[in-house]
Structure 1
Amino acid sequence: MTRHIDFDAIENFRDFGGYGTASGRTVRRGLLYRSANHAYASEADLRRMGELGLAAIIDLRRTEERTREPSRRWQGFSATVIENDIRSEHPDWAEAMRGVEIDAQWFLDDGIGYYRRAPFEARHIDLFNRYFQTLAGAEGAIVVHCAAGKDRTGLICALTLHVLGVDADDIVADYLLTNDESRIARKMAFLGPWLRDNVGKAVDEAALRVAVSVSSTYLETALGVICATHGSIDGYLTEVLGVDAGLRDRLQARLLA
C-alpha cells in the first residue's frame, strides 16, 4: 500500500488511514493526511492539494516558524486553519542551536528531550484538543503538519491512530515511514543549506541524517511519559486533551469503515 504522495516541494506528505483496528473496522483512506510545511509548495502542489477536498489544515508550528516560512494557499482556498500563538517555555529549534556544538548526538539528545516535554506543552495541548474537535466534525479531509512533518505531527498522528483502535505495532510502523530512504537524501540536501543560512551552522552528513529522521525511541519516550503521568494513553487523552467517550465515538463513526 502506497502512503506517500509525491509533491514537488512539500515533504513527507502521506495518507495515514487504511489501518485495521481492534474493532475489525478499517481507518478510512482519503480523510487523514500529514505533511511537512507548505511554504515551498509549487503551483502544481497547490492545485493538487486543492483537489484533495481538505476541510481543515492543522498547523502545529510556532508563531516564529510560521512567520519565517509562511504557508502558501491555492486559489479559492476556504479550509479552516487551526493554529495558535501560545508561547513555548522552550526555545525555537533554530534558536536552541546557536552557541553550541551541533553533531549527530546533539540532534538525538534534543529529540529525546523534546518528546519528553511535548505532550504537556500548553500550546500543544490547545492545538491537539482543537485538532480532535475539528477532526470529529469536519466535512472532508484534514491535513496536519508542522515544520518537517515528523515530530509534532508524528505524535498527534500516533494518538489519532490509538483513538481509532489501531494496533501499537502498526502505529509505530506508520510513525517510522518518515524514514523513507528515497526521501532522506532530498531532505538532507534541503536542511544543510537551511541550517547554514538560518542558523549559521555547518552540519555534517551524519548529523543531518539524524536531524531529518525519527526513531522509535522518540515515540516510546513520549508515550512512556504520558503513561507514567496519567496511567495510560487513554487517561492522557481524556484528562488532558478532552477526548472523552463521546468524542471518541464521533471520531470512530466518521473515520472507520
Structure 2
Amino acid sequence: MTDLDLERVVPLEGGHNFRDLGGYPTMDGRTVARGLIYRSGTMAELSDGDHAMLDAIGLKVICDFRSSQERDRRPSRLPAMASYEIWARDHHSSAGDVTFALQTPGATADTARLHILEAYRDLAYEQAPSYRELFRRIVDGPLPLVFHCAAGKDRTGIAAALLLDLLGVERAIIMQDYALTDRFFARGCELVAKDPFGAKLKGIDPQIWEPIMRADPSYLAAMFDTLEQRHGSARGFLKEELDLSDADCATIRTRLLI
C-alpha cells in the first residue's frame, strides 16, 4: 500500500477492510472530507479495543447491507449499549447464486468470473433499497457513518463507487479505491471460511472460486456500463432508482467536500 492507502485504513484488530472514504481529490479541485464516511467488511469479530476505536472516531451510524440470513449466521459483535445507530433491512440475498454456479459440472475460473460480471450488472438494482437509505442518511442524517457488507467488496464497493462518482472523483481513482480490497484478500478468504455459507466452497478448487473474491476493476466497470446504458449516467441511476433530487445531490456535495 502507499502511505495514503495506509492512512485511509482504520487499524481494527478484528475488523476487515475498514477504511475512510475521505482524502480523494475531485475534478473541480475540492477534496472528499476525512472522517465522515467509512466503508468496511464484516464486523463479526470486533474486539473491545475496536469498539473503543469506533467511539474515538465519533461513529454515529452503521448501515449493514447484509441479508437477514447473513446477519443471523455471523452477527456483528457490537456493544449492547452502543452509542451509534445500527440500520439494516430484512431481505434475501442473491449471493447464493454464485456458489451454485461454482458447484455446477464444468465450472472454471473463467465461468466464475463471467458470473460475477453478470452479478455486477444487477447488484445496484438489487441493493437499491439499501442504497436509497444510505444516501438519504448522508443527505440529512448524523455523521460519521460506516456502511458495510461481508467482504466489503461487492455491495459496499458499488455503494462507495456511486458516492465517489456523485462527489466528482475521477473514475480511475474510484477504481483504485475499489481495488484496495484486494490488499485484504487473505483475510477475506479466512472470514468466508468461518461462515457456514462459505463451507459450500470446500472441495472446489480455489483457482475456480478465487475470482469471486477478487476486486477486479472490470467488475465495477460492468456496473457503471449498465447504469450508463439504462440511465445515461450513474447519477441518472441515483435520481431514477434512489429518488435523489438535484438538491439532495448538492447537499451531499456540500456536506462531504472541502
**TM-score for the superposition, normalised by structure 1:** 0.88
In structure 1, distance between residues paired with 2:33 and 2:168: 13
Instruction: Determine the structure 1 residue equivalent to 2:149.
Output: 146
2:169 corresponds to: 166
User: 1:66-109: CA deviations, max 9, x gaps?
Assistant: 11111111364132222111345x46357636853565334323
Tell me, yes or no, if the aligned pair for 1:58 and 1:83 is still in contact at 8 Å. Answer: yes
- Note closer, same or farther for the CA distance 1:192–1:161 as it changes in structure 2 (3 Å cut): same
Indicate how the Cα distance of structure 1 residues 190 and 39 shifts in structure 2: closer, same or farther if over 3 A, else same.
Answer: closer
Structure 2 Cα separation of the partners of residues 193 and 66 of structure 1? 13
What stretches of structure 1 of length at least 5 have no aligned partner?
A: none
- Asked if 2 retains the 8 angstrom alpha-carbon contact of 1:192 and 1:202, the reply is no
Give the 3-state SS of the residue equivalent to 2:60 in structure 1: strand
Once residues 195 and 11 of structure 2 are traced to their aligned partners in structure 1, the CA distance between those partners, rounded to angstroms, is 21
Note closer, same or farther for the CA distance 1:195–1:244 as it changes in structure 2 (3 Å cut): same
Q: Which amino acid aligns with 1:63?
A: S
Paired position in structure 2 for 1:225: 226
Structure 1 residues 126 and 248, CA gap change in structure 2 (3 angstroms): same
Query: Which aligned pairs between 1:41-60 and structure 2 lie closer than 5 A?
Result: 41-60=46-65
Contact 1:54 1:141 in 2 (8 A): yes
Q: How do 1:193-204 residues align onto structure 2 when only pairs under 5 Å count?
A: 194=195, 198-199=199-200, 201-204=202-205
State how far apart, in whole Å, the 2-side matches of 1:171 and 1:91 are. 24
* Aligned with 2:131 (options 123, 128, 140): 128
C-alpha distance 75-116 of structure 1, shift in aligned 2 (>3 A): same
Are the equivalent residues in 2 in contact too, given 1:94–1:198 (CA < 8 A)?
no
- For 2:61, what is the secondary structure of its paired residue? strand
Moved more, 91-100 or 150-159: 91-100
Distance 2:51 2:166 in 1: 30
Aligned pair count reads: 252
Give 1:43 shift. Answer: 2.0
What is the aligned partner in structure 2 of residue 81 from structure 1? 86
Q: Structure 1 residues 222, 190: CA separation in 2 closer, same or farther (over 3 Å shift)?
A: same
Deviation at 1:195, TM superposition (A): 6.6
Amino acid at match of 1:164: L
Superposed CA RMSD in Å reads: 2.3
Counterpart of 1:128, as a letter, is Y
Aligned counterpart, 2:113: 108
**Separation of aligned partners in 1, 2:26 and 2:43:** 31
In structure 2, which of residues 15, 26, 29 is the aligned counterpart of residue 24 of structure 1? Answer: 29
Show the 5 A alignment for 1:59-98: 59-74=64-79, 76-88=81-93, 90=94, 92=96, 96=100
- Counterpart code for 2:79: W
2:251 corresponds to: 250
Percentage identity across aligned positions? 31
Tell me, what secondary structure is at the counterpart of 1:54? coil
For 1:5, the equivalent position in structure 2 comes to: 10
Which residue is equivalent to 1:184?
Answer: 185
Q: Is the contact made by 1:31 and 1:140 (CA closer than 8 Å) also made in structure 2?
A: yes
- Asked if structure 2 preserves the Cα contact closer than 8 Å seen for 1:98 and 1:199, the reply is no
| In structure 2, distance between residues paired with 1:58 and 1:163 | 19
Question: Paired residue for 2:40?
Answer: 35
Residue by residue over 1:25-48, the C-alpha shift from the partner in whole angstroms, topping out at 9 and shown as x without a partner, is: 110011111111111212222222
Cα shift at 1:228: 0.8
SS of residue matched to 1:82 = strand
Q: Secondary structure in 1 aligned to 2:62?
A: strand
The C-alpha deviation readout for 1:102-134, integer Å capped at 9, x for no partner, is 65334323311210111222xx11111110010
TM-score when normalising by structure 2 = 0.88
The secondary structure found in structure 2 opposite 1:114 is: helix
Q: How far apart in 2 are the matches of 1:196 and 1:229? A: 33
User: Could you tell me whether the CA contact under 8 Å between 2:99 and 2:201 is conserved in 1?
Assistant: no
